[in-house]
């Protein structure tokens, strides 16, 4: 199988992934055949491990949903529709983000998206009359349940880079970007504004978390108020490997002490990222025990 590496430009990469995803998701048998061919090609050194990891990531994306990767509402940096430049410019500069959802005055609805580049005119004429509503862009809304391969196609077709996520009742849940989707396939995309060391555990909602496999058991215990001390493994990734009995591939799942773990990112050498879902009844028991 010949795999031409895509250009690193986001538009070209999204187009390549769209073609790849659209070609191989017709039925489970085709997927199994493709995975087998990929691993066979890797064993013959016809495809390098990084390319294999990206292809497997593209396959996994069809199984993941927006809720698995979205930034939860509590972590979103919003701009109020009536805010003045003096109010929001310091926060825009501090975060380094390029797009910001605009809230209504009651903080209930997202009215649009403010692009940082649209504020450059303020640098030349700070005294110019300014209203956020005059320059904000339309906002795209997506449900939590939308599959990532479909979202990637919509991002490309509509030329959107960000969407606001809503729950089944239409309430605001979080946001998701095209970079978030592509990172599930090609790995972390660092830029000059990314922190060198981000949190090892990130909460999303409804007891859903993403956990870096390198997270120590001590850190996991402290975060979730559990006690998994054991001499058999030092990290959460080691725990998952121990429970499965082998080095897992992307998409494999395991249950452990009231948690469901799913491997989101892995290669032939190590597990990198996990999704953890805490059983709500287990969380309630822990709370009662306190």
Q: Are 152 and 146 in contact (CB under 8 A)?
A: no
Residue 206 gets the label, from left (phi > 0), alpha (psi -120 to 50) or beta, of: left
The pLDDT value given to residue 255: 94
Instruction: Give the tokens for residue 123.
Output: 């640098």
The pLDDT value given to residue 249: 79
Task: Count the residues in the chain.
Answer: 290
The pLDDT value given to residue 131: 81
The pLDDT value given to residue 259: 94
Q: Is the pTM of this model over 0.75?
A: no
Q: Is 195-290 a CATH 3.30.465.10 domain? A: yes
Compute the distance between CA of residue 195 and CA of residue 129 in angstroms, rounded to an integer.
35
* Relative orientation angle of helices 236-244 and 217-224, to the nearest 10 degrees: 100
Q: Evaluate whether 67-194 and 195-290 have a shared fold.
A: no
- Digitized pLDDT (tens) for each residue of the chain, 290 residues in all: 444 444 445 455 555 555 555 555 555 667 777 777 887 887 788 877 777 777 777 777 877 889 888 888 877 888 888 888 888 887 777 677 788 899 887 777 899 998 888 887 776 666 666 788 888 899 999 999 999 989 999 998 888 889 999 988 888 888 998 988 888 887 766 544 443 455 788 886 667 888 888 899 999 999 999 988 766 788 999 999 989 988 887 778 999 989 999 888 776 677 888 889 988 765 544 544 44
Domain boundaries, the chain: 10-61, 67-194, 195-290
> How deeply is 125 buried, as exposed, middle or buried, from its count of CB atoms within 10 A (0-12, 13-18, 19+)?
exposed
The pLDDT value given to residue 49: 73
The pLDDT value given to residue 194: 45
Sign, CA dihedral 39-42-44-47, equals positive
CATH number of the domain at 67-194, out of 3.90.1150.10, 3.10.580.10, 3.40.50.300, 3.30.70.1450? 3.10.580.10
The pLDDT value given to residue 193: 40
Q: Are 116 and 100 in contact (CB under 8 A)?
A: yes
Residue 163 three-state SS = strand
């Amino acid at each position: 199988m010949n795999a031409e590496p895509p250009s690193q430009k986001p538009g070209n990469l999204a187009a390549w992934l769209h073609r790849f995803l659209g070609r191989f998701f017709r039925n489970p048998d085709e997927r199994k055949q493709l995975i087998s061919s990929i691993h066979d090609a890797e064993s013959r050194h016809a495809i390098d491990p990084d390319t294999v990891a990206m292809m497997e990531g593209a396959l996994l994306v069809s199984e993941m949903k927006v809720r698995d990767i979205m930034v939860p509402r509590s972590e979103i940096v919003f701009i109020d529709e009536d805010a003045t430049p003096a109010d929001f410019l310091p926060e825009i500069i501090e975060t380094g983000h390029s797009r910001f959802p605009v809230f209504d005055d009651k903080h209930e609805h997202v009215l649009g998206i403010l692009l940082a580049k649209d504020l450059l005119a303020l640098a030349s004429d700070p005294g110019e009359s300014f209203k956020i509503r005059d320059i904000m862009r339309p906002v795209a809304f997506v449900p939590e349940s939308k599959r990532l391969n479909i979202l990637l196609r919509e991002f490309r077709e509509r030329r959107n880079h960000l969407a606001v996520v809503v729950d089944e009742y239409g309430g605001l849940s979080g946001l998701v970007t095209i970079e978030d989707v592509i990172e599930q396939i090609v790995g972390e995309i660092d830029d000059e504004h990314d922190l060198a060391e981000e949190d090892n555990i990130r909460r999303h909602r409804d007891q859903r978390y993403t956990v870096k496999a390198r997270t120590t058991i001590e850190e996991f215990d402290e975060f979730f108020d559990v006690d998994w001390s054991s001499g058999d493994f030092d990290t959460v990734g080691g725990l998952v490997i121990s429970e499965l009995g082998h080095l897992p591939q992307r998409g494999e799942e395991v249950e452990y002490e009231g948690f469901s773990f799913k491997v989101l990112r892995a290669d032939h050498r190590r597990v990198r990222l996990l999704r953890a879902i805490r059983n709500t009844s287990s969380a309630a028991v822990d709370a009662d025990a306190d």
